[in-house]
């Protein structure tokens, strides 16, 4: 169920010799990573709390039995991981079958009204995720939905229908103690954007119907693969180009050093659009500091080939693309038509997935080819065998691991986000706090 990094469409831009020369930096980054704080996520797939995991499964079963919908409140790292997994596995027709609504991730009245309207006549639970408990969007959303819950069910039942993940101290934890809500304590050594394999991600994912054992198994596969030869007594990343996650970190750093300023994550499966949103947050908050870092952007192909494709092919040569290529997306055979009115009979008998994949390869070639009629946006292709709980678990862990290495190679702290304080102070000033 592994994941491969195909470098064919970037090899002309970054040479083997450059990768070899930079590999020791990745090794040094990995050694450094293992001595840092906030790395509780690193070996989590191999050592997670099995009793807590069972509690998550029990609570998910209770919610699925007693409610029609779960409303999950949180923002940034406290919702994007769950949203990414639930979207990937529900929209792809895989194993997600229970509605999870996300709220508390904007200040939009329209969005809030949509959630309130969706709850009319439905039984619901609230799951609020916030480490600090002071995040404006989440706290406000929680206040409004909490009142709705009490109105609907009364104090006692509302208490049973409120489940919190938060730090062991802080505003939300104080509220938990006062109100008696059920709580999962978020680990002190795992930040929001690395939290998808904690209860923050696991509870809503399990409620949605996704098999979280498989999801964790995917992360464990990835951890076993990328920690290199740790099992044999050393802690290296393995040989140059053997470790896809480290290679990805090396290649994107080399591209940055060669003047690339933007990395675009592209996918040909709309169900992966929220994986891209999660990826942007992970890399954006981990790397964008001290005036450094690739700007993480995303596109959804083939749709965006008819919009941003023009810019990527022909615009400034400051971009690289990382493309997620899914192996098995199901078989839909293109039908023949008697009169061939639309001239598409040359595709009859082929699958739509085959056509999608030919488009992917053609675009990678076109975007990465320098020349009079070609663009020059180097492409890396991440080959995912299928969209399943296990493969998505592997993919998200792959990105967490490579992001931490990449940020350390860049010379920044992967786990802080000092830049968000500046805007927060101004917002609170304007709001009159």
Kindly list the residues in this chain that would bind ligand PA5 in the complex (CB under 6 A): 75-78, 130-132, 135, 138, 191-193, 285, 417
CB-CB contact of 168 with 188 (8 Å): yes
Q: How far is the CB of 135 from ligand PA5 (least distance, A)?
A: 3
Q: How far is the CB of 178 from ligand PA5 (least distance, A)?
A: 19
Q: How many CB atoms lie within 10 A of CB 261?
A: 13
- Which residues make beta-bridge pairs with 101? 71
Q: Is 306 marked active-site?
A: yes
Which has the closest alpha carbon to 45: 196, 219, 228?
A: 219
Instruction: Between 6 and 417, name the residue whose CB sits nearer to ligand PA5.
Output: 417
Question: Tokens 């008998």 map to which residue?
Answer: 349
- Measured CA to CA, the distance from residue 114 to residue 216 in angstroms comes to 32
Instruction: Between 370 and 425, name the residue whose CB sits nearer to ligand PA5.
Output: 425
Q: How far is the CB of 263 from ligand PA5 (least distance, A)?
A: 19
- Measured CA to CA, the distance from residue 294 to residue 255 in angstroms comes to 9
Q: Is 148 marked active-site?
A: no
Instruction: Between 117 and 422, name the residue whose CB sits nearer to ligand PA5.
Output: 422
- Which residues make beta-bridge pairs with 71? 101, 126
Burial of 214 (0-12, 13-18, 19+ CB in 10 A): middle
Instruction: Between 195 and 243, name the residue whose CB sits nearer to ligand PA5.
Output: 195
Q: Which of 50, 178, 306, 338 is catalytic?
A: 306
- Measured CA to CA, the distance from residue 282 to residue 269 in angstroms comes to 20
Q: How far is the CB of 140 from ligand PA5 (least distance, A)?
A: 12
Which residues, 6 or more positions from 59, have their beta carbon under 8 angstroms from its beta carbon? 163, 182, 203
Q: How far is the CB of 142 from ligand PA5 (least distance, A)?
A: 10
Structure tokens at 304: 């965006």
Q: Which of 285, 287, 321, 400 is catalytic?
A: 285
Instruction: Between 40 and 374, name the residue whose CB sits nearer to ligand PA5.
Output: 40
Q: Which amino acids are annotated catalytic?
A: 285, 306, 424
């Amino acid at each position: 169920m592994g994941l491969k990094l195909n470098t064919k469409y970037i090899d002309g831009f970054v040479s083997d010799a450059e990768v070899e020369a930079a590999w020791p930096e990745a090794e040094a980054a990995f050694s450094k990573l293992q001595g840092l704080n906030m790395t509780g996520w690193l070996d989590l797939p191999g050592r997670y709390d099995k009793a807590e995991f069972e509690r998550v499964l029990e609570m998910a079963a209770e919610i699925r039995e007693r409610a029609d919908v779960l409303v999950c409140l949180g923002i940034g790292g406290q919702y994007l991981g769950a949203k990414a997994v639930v979207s990937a596995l529900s929209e792809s027709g895989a194993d997600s079958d229970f509605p999870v609504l996300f709220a508390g991730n904007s200040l939009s009245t329209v969005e809030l009204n949509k959630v309130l309207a969706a709850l009319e006549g439905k039984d619901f639970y609230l799951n609020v995720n916030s480490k600090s408990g002071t995040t404006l969007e989440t706290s406000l959303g929680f206040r409004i939905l909490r009142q709705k819950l009490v109105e609907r069910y009364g104090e006692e039942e509302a208490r049973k229908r409120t489940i919190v993940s938060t730090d062991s101290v802080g505003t939300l934890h104080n509220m938990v103690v006062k109100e008696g809500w059920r709580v999962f304590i978020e680990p002190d050594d795992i930040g929001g954007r690395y939290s998808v394999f904690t209860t923050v991600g696991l509870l809503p994912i399990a409620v949605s119907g996704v098999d979280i054992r498989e999801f964790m198994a995917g992360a464990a596969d990835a951890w076993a693969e990328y920690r290199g030869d740790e099992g044999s007594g050393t802690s290296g990343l393995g040989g140059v180009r053997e470790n896809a996650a480290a290679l990805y970190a090396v290649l994107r750093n080399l591209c940055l050093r060669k003047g690339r300023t933007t990395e675009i994550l592209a996918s040909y499966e709309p169900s992966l659009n929220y994986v891209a949103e999660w990826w942007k947050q992970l890399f954006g908050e981990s790397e964008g500091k001290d005036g450094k870092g690739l700007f993480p952007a995303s596109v959804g192909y083939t749709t965006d080939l008819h919009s941003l494709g023009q810019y990527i092919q022909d615009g400034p040569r400051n971009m690289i693309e990382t493309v997620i290529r899914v192996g098995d997306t199901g078989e839909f055979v293109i039908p023949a038509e008697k009169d061939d009115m639309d001239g598409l009979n040359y595709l009859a008998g082929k699958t739509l997935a085959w056509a999608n994949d030919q488009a992917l390869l053609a675009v990678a070639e076109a975007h990465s080819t320098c020349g009079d009629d070609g663009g020059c946006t180097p492409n890396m292709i991440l080959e995912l065998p299928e969209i399943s709980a296990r493969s998505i678990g592997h993919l998200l862990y792959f990105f967490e691991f490579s992001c931490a290495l990449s940020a350390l190679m860049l010379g920044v702290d992967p786990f802080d986000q000092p830049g968000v304080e500046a805007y927060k102070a101004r917002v609170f000033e304007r709001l009159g706090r």
